[in-house]
Each structure stands twice: as structure tokens, then as C-alpha cells.
């Protein structure tokens, strides 16, 4: 589907007015800008803050009605997102490159990464939406040299010209601390803080900083995977549901050699031949133990099948 020429002319005028934008041929895949991780919300002046959505980073290329969708690594995933492609063809520009995130929206509207993976496996597309947060090229102009807020202003205007289904503008906010609190309360992935006047630069840079919203809980230790004669590679975790012990995944980071040795010494005397889980689990690499210890874990989320995502070990407690 090709967009009408009046809308194309409008989008080109937007691009021409962007400070710093330069005439340029339509680009191939652009290496994306990647945020540096931080443990606290940055408070420096000149930052704006966006929600970090838990999905797949996707760069959208639209050229004369033809759409290509690329992953963060540059792989062409156009065929996997048919409904997003259909929405992109309605955008009012002949040549357009967007940076954004494809998410699966749950019943409450929050991104659900596990559901996104499941939908892609099953070929389901009705819950997929694209949030555009940056504009890299517009109708013959390389917009990356322009300041971020100027790029976002034009991006919002382009998207507002034609309300394409499943294509949304990613808002930004001034108060990063408040946004982080709200993101945590909503159990979102985190926030990204960006320099408002910075150009778009490929690769990791100080212009973009991400802070994740970590959850913290205790899980029952039901086994460990040994490493060498004195260390551990992983801890097997479970959660209690009534009187049942339900497998919750494994954690393999968060300790040094000294701590790993201490955990091993605490768990080895509790070794048992079979898993203590209510639903037995076979793991040939695992030494099962009596459930006498809890591990305090930080993690990002829990998958649809109950596994902790991106867990990190903090402490071991005797029950």
C-alpha cells in the first residue's frame, strides 16, 4: 500500500525543518543506540525519561510502501510481524526509519515478554503493538544528527498524521524518579534516561542510561549444580504454594568464589537422592538437597510457566 503524496510532502517538510538533519540516501540497517546500565535513576540536568518496555527491539524501514523489520542484531523478522507491517504501510512517509519496541500487550495493557515469545511460536499476532521512540530517517533526510527532543517532536507529528493501528508513540517524562516509582508499581521492566539535546549514536553511549525495576524475594533451595570440587554453578529454586514445593528455575550469578564455597559447604550435608519437589524433576547435573535453606534473589519477572527471569543471588538463609 502506498501513501498519498500530500502526506509525503508534509513529512518531508517536517524533516527539512529539523535542526541538524542532512540530505542522505535511504540507509541499510543502522546499528542501534544501546543504553548503559545503571543501578540508580540519573538526576543530571538535560535528561528526559521513557518507560523501558519488555519486548523485542525492532528497527522499522519503510520505503515506498515496502516495510522491513529488523532485530537489534540486524536480522530481518518482517515475516514474523504481519500485523505490525500492515500498520506501518499506513504511515504518511515515503521513506522512514523508526527505532522502537514490539511488545505483547496483556489484558492489563502491560508488556508480557513470555506471552510475546509464545505468540511468535504460535503465529498469533492480535496482541502485538509497536512503540516508536526515535526517528532515524525521514523522506531523504538523515535525522540522527538532530537533538533527541526535536526528533521525537517530528516523530510524534508523523504518527499523528495517520493513526495507524498498532503503531504508537513512546512518551517521555521530565521526572525520572517519579517515573521509576510508577514503573516499579506497575511491574514494568524499568526506565531509560536520555540526553534531550543529544544526536542518535550507534552503540553503547552515555547519552542513554537504563535502570531496571528489580523484584526481590526468597525462594527455597532444592538443589545445586557443582562446579569443580568446591564451587557451585547454579542453585535450583522452588516456591511454596500451600504445602507444595513448585520448581521456579535456577540462579547462576551473584556470588564470588568464597561465597560459592560457603554455599557448597552448607548444602552438601543435606544431599538426597531424589528431588524434594512436589512434581519430580530430572536434572542429571544437579545434586538435590533437603529444603532447609532459602535464597534471597533479585529478578526481573516471572515467566508464564513460573520461572524467574534474570535472577541474581543475594543471600542464603537457613529456614
Does position 102 have pLDDT exceeding 70, yes or no?
yes
Looking at the structure, tell me whether residues 170 and 245 fall in a common domain.
no
Looking at the structure, tell me whether residues 11 and 148 fall in a common domain.
yes
Give the residue-averaged pLDDT of 92-116.
Answer: 91
Looking at the structure, tell me whether residues 201 and 229 fall in a common domain.
no
pTM of the entire predicted model: 0.80
pLDDT value at position 8?
53
Looking at the structure, tell me whether residues 169 and 245 fall in a common domain.
no
Q: Please tell me which residue in 52, 152, 161, 194 is annotated as part of the active site.
A: 52
pLDDT in tens, 204-214: 999 999 999 99
Looking at the structure, tell me whether residues 202 and 219 fall in a common domain.
no
Looking at the structure, tell me whether residues 132 and 270 fall in a common domain.
no
Does position 11 have pLDDT exceeding 80, yes or no?
no
pLDDT in tens, 30-58: 999 999 999 999 999 999 999 999 999 99
pLDDT bin (cut points 50, 70, 90) of residue 9 is low
pLDDT value at position 13?
78
Looking at the structure, tell me whether residues 176 and 59 fall in a common domain.
yes
The domain boundary, picked from 197, 212, 227, lies at 212
Looking at the structure, tell me whether residues 127 and 260 fall in a common domain.
no
Does position 5 have pLDDT exceeding 50, yes or no?
no
Structural domain containing residue 57? 5-212
CATH code of the domain in which 225 resides: 2.40.50.140
pLDDT in tens, 266-287: 999 999 999 999 998 889 999 9
Q: Is 52 considered catalytic here?
A: yes
To the nearest whole percent, how much of the chain has pLDDT over 90? 80
Crossing angle of the two packed helices 5-16 and 148-161, in degrees rounded to 10: 170
Amino acid at each position: 500500500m502506498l501513501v498519498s503524496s500530500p502526506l509525503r510532502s508534509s513529512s518531508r517538510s517536517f524533516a527539512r525543518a529539523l535542526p541538524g538533519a542532512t540530505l542522505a540516501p535511504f540507509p541499510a540497517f543502522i546499528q542501534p543506540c544501546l543504553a548503559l546500565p545503571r543501578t540508580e535513576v540519573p538526576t543530571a540536568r538535560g535528561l528526559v525519561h521513557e518507560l523501558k518496555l519488555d519486548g523485542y527491539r525492532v528497527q522499522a524501514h519503510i520505503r515506498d510502501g515496502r516495510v522491513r523489520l529488523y532485530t537489534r542484531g540486524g536480522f530481518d523478522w518482517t515475516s514474523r510481524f504481519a500485523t505490525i507491517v500492515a500498520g506501518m504501510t499506513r504511515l504518511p512517509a515515503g521513506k522512514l526509519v523508526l527505532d522502537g519496541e514490539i511488545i505483547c500487550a496483556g489484558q492489563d495493557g502491560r508488556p508480557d515478554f513470555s506471552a510475546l515469545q509464545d505468540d511468535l511460536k504460535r503465529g498469533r499476532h492480535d496482541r502485538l503493538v509497536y512503540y516508536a521512540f526515535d526517528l532515524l530517517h525521514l523522506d531523504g533526510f538523515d535525522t540522527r544528527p538532530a537533538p533527541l527532543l526535536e526528533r521525537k517532536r517530528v516523530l510524534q507529528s508523523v504518527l499523528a498524521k495517520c493513526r495507524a493501528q498498532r503503531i504508537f508513540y513512546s512518551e517521555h517524562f521530565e521526572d525520572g524518579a517519579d517515573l521509576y516509582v510508577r514503573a516499579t508499581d506497575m511491574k514494568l521492566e524499568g526506565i531509560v534516561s536520555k540526553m534531550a539535546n543529544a544526536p542518535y549514536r550507534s552503540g553503547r553511549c552515555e547519552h542513554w542510561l537504563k535502570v531496571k525495576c528489580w523484584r526481590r524475594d526468597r525462594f527455597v533451595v532444592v538443589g545445586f549444580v557443582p562446579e569443580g570440587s568446591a564451587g557451585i554453578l547454579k542453585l535450583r529454586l522452588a516456591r511454596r504454594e500451600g504445602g507444595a514445593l513448585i520448581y521456579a528455575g535456577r540462579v547462576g550469578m551473584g556470588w564470588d568464589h568464597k561465597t560459592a564455597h560457603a554455599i557448597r559447604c552448607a548444602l552438601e550435608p543435606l544431599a538426597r537422592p531424589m528431588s524434594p519437589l512436589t512434581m519430580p524433576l530430572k536434572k542429571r547435573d544437579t545434586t538435590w538437597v533437603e529444603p532447609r535453606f532459602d535464597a534471597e534473589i533479585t529478578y526481573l519477572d516471572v515467566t508464564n510457566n513460573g520461572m524467574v527471569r534474570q535472577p541474581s543471588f543475594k543471600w542464603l538463609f537457613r529456614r
